[in-house]
Amino acid sequence: MGLVRTFPALLNDCKWFDRTFTGKYANLDLGSEITLPISLGIFTQPWRKELPLLLSLVPVIALTTLVAPFIGKIQLLLPACSIIWFLIYIQVRKGRILTQLGVKSSAKDERQIRINQARIFLPQYLTGTPASIAKGDIAGLVFHWVGYHDSHQRERKRAHAVTVKLKNGRQYRLAGMAYPLRILLYLAIFFGYPVTLLEASPKAERLIRFAALLAISVLTLNVVMLFVVS
Q: pLDDT for 62-89, tens place per residue? A: 777 677 666 665 566 777 777 888 888 8
**66/123 same-domain check:** no
**12/26 same-domain check:** yes
Residue 172's SS3 state is: strand
Chain center to CA of 116: 22
Reply yes or no on whether the pLDDT at 201 is more than 80: no
Do residues 41 and 94 lie in contact, with contact meaning Cβ atoms separated by under 8 Å? yes
Reply yes or no on whether the pLDDT at 214 is more than 80: no
Residue 157's SS3 state is: strand
**154/186 same-domain check:** yes
Residue 131 domain flag = yes
Report d(CA 77, CA 63) in Å as an integer. 11
Reply yes or no on whether the pLDDT at 115 is more than 80: yes
Residues forming a β-bridge with 66:
none
Range of the domain at 79: 47-101+207-229
Phi, psi angles (nearest 5°) of residue 141 = -105, 110
Number of folded domains that form the chain: 2
Task: Specify the pLDDT at position 222.
Answer: 59
List the single range of 64-78, 89-103, 111-125, 171-185 with lowest mean pLDDT: 64-78
Residue 106 domain flag = no
CATH (domain of 141)? 2.30.29
Residue 108 domain flag = no
